[in-house]
């Protein structure tokens, strides 16, 4: 088995390189909204993987741009537990990101779809939750 550490559970800070380099037998990964942090596997730190997490400020154009580089984008959809995620969004394949949290195992160039998980007492919707596209045949 391999040790995996998810960084930044509730923050989005850049972790000092020396920590990752000192533990080269550990895979470090994080979700980030920061475009100043390289996405995907880092060449200088091959045990580090960063995946972009879309927010309400993320444009569709930016999602396309990231995906065109064979990088992944995590997108939360207005779908609740027990319901299916869309299979495609903005013309790109959507995979089920609720099956596991090991983003570095995902195929490249996909949207990692997440279901909306409301927290009791919080607003029904947040700006970063994307509506599910509807196809009319």
Instruction: Please say if the pLDDT value at position 119 is more than 80.
Output: no
For the chain, percent of residues with pLDDT exceeding 70: 91
The helices-and-strands tally (H runs, E runs) of the chain is 2, 8
How sure is the predictor about 117, in pLDDT bands with cuts at 50, 70 and 90? confident
pLDDT tens by residue, 44-98:
899 999 999 998 889 999 999 999 999 999 999 988 889 999 999 999 999 999 9
Tokens of 34: 């920061």
| Nearest residue to 117 via CA among 73, 80, 87 | 80
Whole-angstrom distance, CA of residue 61 vs CA of residue 119:
30
The pLDDT value given to residue 8: 85
| Nearest residue to 79 via CA among 57, 100, 98 | 98
Instruction: Please say if the pLDDT value at position 107 is more than 70.
Output: yes
User: What percent of the chain is helix, strand and coil (3-state, nearest 5)?
Assistant: 15, 25, 60
Whole-angstrom distance, CA of residue 26 vs CA of residue 48:
9
| Nearest residue to 111 via CA among 42, 62, 48, 44 | 62
Q: Do the beta carbons of residue 1 and residue 22 sit within 8 Å?
A: no
The pLDDT value given to residue 137: 55
């Amino acid at each position: 088995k391999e040790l995996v550490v998810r960084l930044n559970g509730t923050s989005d800070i850049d972790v000092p390189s020396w920590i990752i380099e000192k533990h080269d037998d550990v895979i470090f990964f994080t979700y980030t909204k920061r475009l100043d942090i390289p996405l995907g596997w880092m060449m200088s730190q091959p045990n580090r993987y960063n995946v972009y997490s879309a927010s309400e400020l993320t444009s569709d154009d930016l999602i396309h741009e990231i995906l065109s580089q064979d990088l992944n984008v995590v997108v939360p959809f207005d779908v609740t537990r027990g319901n299916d995620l869309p299979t495609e969004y903005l013309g790109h394949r959507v995979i089920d990101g609720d099956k596991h949290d090991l983003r570095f195992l995902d195929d490249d160039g996909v949207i990692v779809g997440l279901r909306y998980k409301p927290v009791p007492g919080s607003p029904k919707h947040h700006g970063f939750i994307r509506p599910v596209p509807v196809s009319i045949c």
